[in-house]
Structures are given as structure tokens and as C-alpha cells.
Structure 1
Amino acid sequence: MTLLTKQSVKQTTLKQKMMSGALTGVLMTSLGVAAPMMALTQSATAAPADNLTAAKRLNKLLTNTKSMTANFSQTTKGASSGTFSGAMNVQRPNNFRWETKSPSEQLIVANGNSMWIYDKDLEQATKQNVDSQVGNTPALLLSGDPSKIDKNFKITQPYDNKNYYVLYPKSDSASFKSLSISFSGGKPVMMVLNDTLGQTTSIKFSNIKLNPSISSSQFKFTPPKGVDVINQ
């Protein structure tokens, strides 16, 4: 790849990386997030569940989700607007794979100890340690311990009769303001993240498979030859 080609690709890839940065924790964590529009379809008289009840219900839904595979369509509106699509795998405890295939290729793989972000077009792979900060991100939802979610988030259920939840991080250092999660038939179907930069990212899941057997190789990554490796 020539330097000129790399530079032309870099703008698209960095834009994608900015979007992924806010989502990395989210995607490692949550299994689906609810569309805000769902609230508009409910009766204005529907009563919200109290926080304790909401936490117990969300905990049950997430506990029943031990692994998941799905395709996704991700759209961000704000300073870094764009739409991407790909496939994801998650498996408790602490295993996550998020692979963007269009319009450019990027792979995020986490296994509880480390996390890799691989940009194929840039021929660059970044390795990060997964530490206790993950507990303050949405990643806790999908791959972490469901029973600890209420320690890191204020959990609300706006409509008592709908599996739609809105989570607010208790940590002041969190990279997002709120995370909405909705389930259909026990499956997470959509994720909506409002970050601290004023951006809104929506992720719709399709071809969802709940609790499938996933090979451990899906959560391992070895940088290809010739790829620049950055340790953070």
C-alpha cells in the first residue's frame, strides 16, 4: 500500500475509529439497546418500573444471554457521522468480537485480558489492556457479570410492561451519558448510545442467535505480518 493510498484511507478509518472508541466498551458490554423511538410508541399513561424492579428484570434478561452472534448496522449522528455494518460475537465471561466489513474493514477483539483494534486498510493493530475501567463502561452488560451492573449504572425501565431499559453511568469518567437497551423475544435487538461528545450512535442487530456455541478462536487475534503494532 502506497503512502498516498494510506493517507486517503486514513480519514475514513480514523472516523470509524472515533465511532468505535465510544462503542468499544458498549459493544463489549451490552447486548442490545433500545431505540428511543420505542418510547414514542407507548401509551403516555404507562407507568415506569421502580429502579430495583428494573435492575432485577434487566439482570434476568442478561443472565439468560450467555453468548450471542448477530449482524449489525451502526449509524452515528453528530461530529463523526457515518454508517457501518458487520458482524459481532459475544460470550461470557469477557469475550467480545466486533468486525466491521463495510465501508471499510476493522476488527475489535477482547478476551478479558487484552483488547485488539485492527485496521486492515491502515495495516495497523493497537493492543490495549482490559482493566477495571471496563466496569464503568457498557461492556459490563454483554460480557461481564450481570449481577454487578447496578453497581455501575442507574437502571431505569420507562414502561413497566416493555423490556426497554435506559442506563446512566454512575462514574463521572464514563465516555457516555446514557445507554438504551431493548429486547424482543428475550433477544437484544438494538442499542442506542448518547456519548459525552453530543453524538448518538444506534446499532440494530439482525440474524440474532442466542446462546450458540462459539469457538474460542473468535476471541483471539494475531497481527498479520507487516502490520504495525501499537501497545497502549
Structure 2
Amino acid sequence: MTTLKIKNNFVRGALIGGLITSMSVAVPMVAMTQTASAKAADNLTAAKRLNKLLTNTKSMTASFTQNTKGASSGQLSSGNGNFSGVMSVQRPNNFRWETKSPSEQLIVANGSSLWIYDKDLEQATKQNVDAQIGNTPALLLSGDPNKIDQNFKITQPHGNKNYYVLYPKSDNASFKSLSISFSGGKPVMMVLNDSLGQTTSIKFNNIKLNPSISASQFKFTPPKGVDVINQ
């Protein structure tokens, strides 16, 4: 599996499982495009503000719901639909995304390797983490905040609202833009517009900011009998 395929899997199912919302995607998008009560922040100011918010998020656990819709019809995209599960991140570069419904899938990254485990397929894929993974939305919450502006153009459309829209600088990125919203200093929602014209919304609930997380959460050992693919 190539890096690009991994990134596409992430877009389609939270790296095959989940990034966003129990609410219709129309709700956050309407909120994000309403008339601004303050002018947009300049790029440098937006980058500094987002950096501060992300730096304050040293670790995080939450449950998530995800919804994906097609570009024109507004209907749920075939093969995507709704997903829900739990996630945890811890800087630097520790990430766990576990989809519980409608199927079980697990993505674990610890800075050196990334595992994708599909329980139904009894298959686990392992890949070394490389620089390209830095363009994926997942690692926005677990990577180095000081390096985010190297991979993204950062904007803050409404200067008095804590939501930011990021545009990947890489031509190989599998998405066109990523919006992230904060409430009370916590990341609560992400909206992803991918290169296929789909919009994926992810809403985080039961958020715990900066908890102590066991290192075992970011390690993965394939269960007995599982087909392991090394990339």
C-alpha cells in the first residue's frame, strides 16, 4: 500500500474508520460560511493562534462520529456513510484511531511505524512513517505544531472565531482543505474536503484534554492468525 493510498483510506474512513460528526455536515459548513462579525486574520496571525491552541493540546482522548457526503447530491457517499469510535493522541507523533461501528478498524501510529488493522478482513498493514504522513489530517493533532505551517497554508476566516481552514502545500495531498474548530481550547470538529469532491465531517465528544495516556495505547501486536503486510 502506497502512502497515497493510506492517505485516501484516511479520508474515506478515518484512515478507514472515522473523522467527524453526528450532525449533518451541512450544519458546520453553514456555521463556517456565515457573515463574519470580524475580518479575517492574516496568515501569520492565524498560524500563531492555531499553533498556540495545538501546543496546548499535548494529549487528548475523545469519542468521535464521522459523516461523509458526495460533492453534488449531498447524499452519503457509497462506501462511506457514518462511523463512530474512540481516539487518542499524544505528542510527539502518537496516534490511535479506533472505529467501533459499523465495523471494527484500528489505526495506530507511534512516530516510527503506522499500523492499519481490519478485524473483519483479518489483515494488518504496517508501514514506516515518512514525511508524507505529515500531510494527513490525523497527525495535525499529534505532530509538531511548529512544523504545521511547513505543510499547510493556515487561514482564520473570522478573526474572532476559533476555527481555522488549512490548505495543503503539497501537490500530492489527498484533500483540498481542512477546517478545524475549537471550543474552550479543545478541538471539537474537523471538516475535510477531499480531492474526490467529498466532504467529511468529524465531531469529537467526551473530550479529555491533556490526560495521562498509557504508552501501550500506541503499540500494536497483530493477533494470532492475522495476515500481516509490510510496506
TM-score interval, smaller chain:
0.7 to 0.9
**Which of 68, 75, 86 pairs up with 2:67?**
75
Of Structure 1 and Structure 2, the greater helix share is in 1
- Letter paired with 1:48: A
Identity %: 79
SS of corresponding position for 1:35: helix
- SS of match in other structure, 1:59: helix
Q: TM-score, normalised by structure 1?
A: 0.84
Q: Report the equivalent of 1:98.
A: 97
Matches within 5 A, 1:192-211: 192-211=191-210
Q: Match of 2:46, SS?
A: helix
Q: In the alignment, what sits opposite 1:229?
A: 228
Runs ≥4 in structure 1, deviation > 4 angstroms?
Answer: none
Secondary structure in 1 matching 2:89? strand
**When the two structures are aligned, how many residues end up with a matched partner?**
209
Structure 2 equivalent of residue 11 of structure 1: none
The residue that corresponds to 2:174 in the other structure is 175
Question: Is residue 145 from structure 1 mapped to residue 144 from structure 2 by the alignment?
Answer: yes
Q: 1:35 pairs with 6, 25, 28, which one?
A: 28
Distance change in 2, residues 1:70/1:225 (3 Å):
same
Contact 2:11 2:194 in 1 (8 A): no
- Kindly indicate whether the alpha-carbon contact (under 8 Å) linking 1:140 and 1:149 is maintained by their aligned counterparts in 2: no
TM-aligned CA deviation for residue 21 of structure 1: 4.9
Structure 1: segments with no counterpart, 5+ residues: 1-16, 29-33
Question: For 1:36, what is the secondary structure of its paired residue?
Answer: helix
Question: 2:23 aligns to what?
Answer: none
One-letter amino acid of the counterpart of residue 70, structure 1:
A
Residue matched to 2:42: 50
Alpha carbons of structure 1 residues 135 and 18: separation in structure 2 relative to 1, 3 Å: closer
CA shift for structure 1 position 81: 3.3
TM-score (norm 2): 0.85
Distance in 2 of aligned mates of 1:18 and 1:141? 16
